[in-house]
Structures are given as structure tokens and as C-alpha cells.
Structure 1
Amino acid sequence: MKDPRVIFAGTPEFARASLSALVDAGVVPVAVLTQPDRPAGRGKRVTPSPVKRYAEEHDIPVMQPPTLRDDDVVAQLLALEPDIMVVAAYGLILPQTVLDIPARGCLNVHASVLPRWRGAAPIQAAILAGDKTTGVSLMSMTAGLDCGPVYVAAPLAIAPGETAGALHDRLATLGGDTLAQYLDDILEQRITPVPQDESATTYAGKINKSDAQLDWSQSAVDLERRVRAYDPVPGAFFFASLRGGSDIAEPLRIKCWRAASVADIDATPGTVVSSGADGIDVACASGALRLLELQLPGKRRVKAREFAHQIDLTDRILS
């Protein structure tokens, strides 16, 4: 389709990659929807989203409604006469009145191969589950949660030891490339979307900070995945109660940024059984988790050897 009228809706860096791919392909949206500016960072300064920053740099009109369930917003979108709306990690629900506006409907760039990992955190869910592959899907949006028919699914292997942050970046690039490659085919209806297999559906719910706490009653394999799944946000953590004259308040919340699963150790789960140059070994329900990179509150990340010089966790029970 020559000069399609596209509305783009997205907010974080994952979405910016798709917007950038469209612009690089010569498809400049008639408008961009993104969430309102919010406080971010240590100083909690009000900050525009990555999508807004990119749109403004390229002179694309930006809309930031707090909700799409507003008659004035719907009227503004109708006036744009879009052929399609591309949605990537927007963060607001699209009501049916909005879904019905574009002539070719709304197209979602989702960070999994649907129907596996519908929902808000598919990247983290794939790592937690030990999936070997994931990918992106271009899905025709319906009123349900990520349940519309799929135009294209592009698989991607998850590298051994890959963190959510690294996987996010590769999926963001893949999503943008796939969108740019297939958008015209979708607009020209050369591709028929395929209904999802409801029997194969899995869900990836929103992440709470408490989800990142390491539970030593789980296996070391599961905990190593947890460390990777929550890097960089919110960061896996555990608590250590320090005694013996330490001036550090207890219990101490310690973040773990890198770990490895090692052989079984006969000890109560949560017990620090050794601390040396190779790392700090903690007994789990099965196997042991070797802590390799740690961070004290307000401090920088350090390797386990340096951490052990600061605080000796040997024989302590972690929670």
C-alpha cells in the first residue's frame, strides 16, 4: 500500500525499536500514542518515554492520553483516518471503539511466539520456564488479552546464560525487523492471520518486586533462571541477617546479578556452605546456587570474591 496512514502506539524501548524500524522503512506514522510522562530514575524526574523522545526527534505528532476510554480521544483518532494502528508494549487497554477505528484493524508486536506467554512479561516468563526458544508475533488485536489471530511468528533461540535484558534487546530488534518486512503484506491482505491454539496457551503475568526474591526451597536450576529473568529489573535478591558487631542494619537486602547452578550439597536450603575465589555457594532444595556477582544497597556490583572480603556469609542461613 502506497503511503499508508499508520498510528503507532507504544511506550518503552521495546516499542521504540518497532517505531524506528517503520521510519527507517519509509513508513512515518501520522501520529504516535504513548503513555504520559512519568517520574523515573533516582531523582524521580518526570521523564518522557523512549517512544515520545524518538517521535519528537522525527517531528511525529505525539498524543499522551491517560486513557483511551474518552470520547474526545476517540474522535481525534477517527479524524486521522488510519489504515492501521501498530501497537507495541503501549501499556493501555484499547477498547473496542478504538480497535474498530483503523480500516485494517490494530496490529500488535508481541515478544513471544503466541499462544505461549500471552500477557505482560513474556520475556521473563520464557527464561523462568527454561525455554530454549522464544520470538515475536505480529497479531491482529481483539478485545481479549493477546488472543487474536497471528499473521507472522518469528522464532529466536535463547542463548545459554542470557539475561532478560539481553534477550529484550534482541527481541526488540527482531520485532522491528519483522514488522517492517511484513507490514505491507498485512495491509494488502496478502497474509491471512491464523487463529491461536487455545489448548497451548500459557500466561505471563505482571512482575512484582517480590517475585525476584530467591527462595532457597527451590532448585538451583530454577534460581539461576530467576537471577537471569530479573536482570536488569527488578533484580534478584535475598536477605542475610548479620551479627557480631556489624554496623550494617539487619536483615540486609542483597541483590544477585550473576549465578550458576552447581552440584548437590548436603545442607539445609539457604545455608552458605562455602565462600571462595570461585563464588559463594548456597544450598538449595536440589543442587547449590553459586553466587558470582552481588550488590549491597547503595553500592556498586562486585564479584563474589570482592564481596566476601566485605562481608563473610559462610555458615549463615539466607532468606
Structure 2
Amino acid sequence: MRVVFMGTPDIAATCLKKILADGFEVVGVYTQPDRPKGRGMKLVASPVKEVALRVNIPVFQPENFREEETVEALRALKPDICAVVAYGRILPQKVLDVPPLGCINIHASLLPKYRGSAPYQWAVLDGLTESGVTAMYLTREMDAGDIIDVAKTPIGENETAGELLDRLAVLGANLLSKTLGRFQTEGKLPGTAQDASQVSYAPMLDKTMCPIDWSKTAWQVHNQVRGLHPWPVATMVLQGKTFKVHDTRVTEGTGKPGEILGLTKTGLRIACGEGAVEITSLQAEGGKRMAAPDYFRGHPLEA
């Protein structure tokens, strides 16, 4: 079975490595064009491209599929199936129609919940206790295709979005390999239509979401910190300085929202609209990430 893989970031690279290790015939890899990065703005290859080049798989990096020759290049690979993971492009129907077994996608949520570009982050922001990955058929509408299979995992109460993604990458890689294996032995697999009444969306994160509103409950603040990590990272203003807040724990305590309740051996306690949180790790502007007690040992709080 000839597989064309399409993906760009680390989660996709993890999936590509898995299906290569499991012996699937990957005849071509599509990924986003190299992008300028860092202070020198040098062009940097995607994690997926790096994996493909190491094993000498042909790499294709079209900006889009508008040109007929771009679609012809895909047809020339004669894929039986396309496996898509966080490619970063919505594929037109003429691409979806190329492989006879269809185009399948691994999405980092339990669809139909959290369609869109930031599914696992919103699962954490919303305080969910369970997430997972979905194998589905791709359609022209974003994340709306029939579901082939799912794999579920609990979300830890202190787990960040970044930590969850690391686990979902492995879960997704295993699900992709399992699903491709079923296609290889069973042919075209049945799918289940998504329940339209259960659809929700997970829009891109941005920095307007960062400032902490201390009038919210302790759990809402804690979920904000977890869900916005490692990007764009929750922030707070303390004694005129802006800090990135990297890590919190929900704790006991009462006071006016935003009131400092005390500095302990483990962190800085701040009152919320309901309950309190303890900030265990933060970062001052222009500084590095530090354990909160260590920072305030060198920068004592004003009385």
C-alpha cells in the first residue's frame, strides 16, 4: 500500500517516524515550505521534512494546490492513501480525490468536539479531564469528516497543553499506524458521521488571552495557565512589573481577587474570585524562568 504523508510540526514528525518504523511504504512527503526563523531569519525545514530527508523520501513543499501540475505531481506518486497530520493546509477536493482509499487525518481531539487549530489547548483551558485523538476521513469542511477510530487519554489536573500534546503525539502515531494497518488488510474502512449537535470549535490562541483575571475561580486561573503553556503563556502584573506565569497549583485561601496571601517554600499564593492559586514558577520581563521562591528571595515583595 503506497502512502503519501502530509504534515509539518513535531506531532506530525512523531507520526511519520512511527509508520516508517512499522514498515509502511511512504512514497512521498508533503510539508510546509521552509520558513525564516530566529534572529538571523534563516530558512528552517519543518520537523517532518527533516525526518523524510534522513531516510531519502521525496519531499514536496507547495504553497498550495491551485496549479494543476502540483496535483499531477501527487498523482504521479500513485498513492493508495494519504495520511495527513497537522499539515497546515486545507486540501481541495481535487487532492482528496487522488488516492483511491481516501485521505485520512489524525486530529488531536475527540471529535466532533474541538474542531480547529488549537484543540488540545482548549481542552485544557476548558478544564476537561479527558482528551484523545481521532482518525477520520478528510472532507472539504475543516475537521468534519466521518470518524474511523478514536483513542482516549485522561488529562492530569496539573498537566499543561504542551505536556498533553507530547502524549497525544504518541497516541496519534499509534492510532495512525493501527488505522493504516487496517486499510492494508481490510481495504476502505467504514466511517461514522459526526454528530452535528455536539460540534465545538478550537480557534487559534493569541496574546490577548494571556492576562490573568483574578476575579475568576482558582480552577479557571489554573486552567488558563496550563492551557496557554508553552505558548503564549499566561501573564500577571505584580507591583508594576509584568510576569509570565509558567506553573500554578490550586490551593486553599481567601482574600480579595489578586491579593497576595503569602510566600511559602513552594510558591506565591494569590487570592482568586473563589479559592486561591500558588504560583510555583514565573519569569520576569527580560529574565529567565525561575521557581517563584527563588525569584522573590532575590527580589523581596514590597510590604
Residue of structure 1 equivalent to 2:297: 309
1:288 to 276, 293, 296: 276
Map of 2:176 onto structure 1 = 179
The unaligned stretches of length 5 or more in structure 1 are 243-251
Q: Which residue, out of 243, 246, 249, partners 1:260? A: 249
CA distance in 1, matches of 2:2, 2:249: 49
- Count of residue pairs the alignment pairs up: 302
Task: Report the aligned-residue RMSD.
Answer: 1.7
CA contact (8 A) 1:272 1:282 kept: yes
Identical amino acids, percent of aligned pairs: 39
Q: 1:204 aligns with which of 202, 205, 209?
A: 202
Match of residue 50 from structure 2: 53
Show CA shifts across 1:113-137 (max 9, x none): 1111111111111111111111111
Check the 8 A contact 1:276/1:308 in 2, yes or no. Answer: no
C-alpha contact 1:68 1:93 (8 A) present in aligned 2: no
Structure 1 segments of 4+ aligned residues over 6 angstroms from their partners: none
Question: SS of 1:206's equivalent?
Answer: coil
1:143-179 per-residue CA deviation (whole Å, 9 max, x = no partner) reads 1111100111111111231111211111101111111
Q: Which position in structure 1 is the counterpart of 2:219?
A: 221
- Aligned match of 1:249: none
The whole-number CA distance in structure 1 between the counterparts of 2:180 and 2:293 is 51
Structure 1 residues 118 and 314: CA distance shift in structure 2, 3 A = farther
Task: Rate the CA distance shift 1:280–1:43 in 2: closer, same or farther, 3 A.
Answer: farther
Aligned to 2:237: 239
Equivalent position SS for 1:167: helix
Q: Is 2:247–2:280's contact at 8 Å kept on the other side of the alignment?
A: yes
User: Partners in 2 of 1:314 and 1:111 — Cα distance?
Assistant: 44
8 Å contact from structure 2 (residues 125, 228) kept in 1 = no
- TM-score between both structures, scaled by the size of structure 2: 0.94
Judge which range, 155-164 or 139-148, deviates more: 155-164
Aligned residue runs from structure 1 range 1-319, under 5 A:
4-41=1-38, 43-187=40-184, 188-189=186-187, 191-242=189-240, 252-267=241-256, 269-313=257-301
Is the contact made by 1:151 and 1:186 (CA closer than 8 Å) also made in structure 2? no
User: How far apart are residue 209 of structure 1 and its match?
Assistant: 2.1
Cα distance, 1:313 vs. partner?
4.2
For the 8 Å contact 1:86–1:106, the answer to whether it is kept is yes
- When normalised by structure 1's length, the TM-score is 0.89
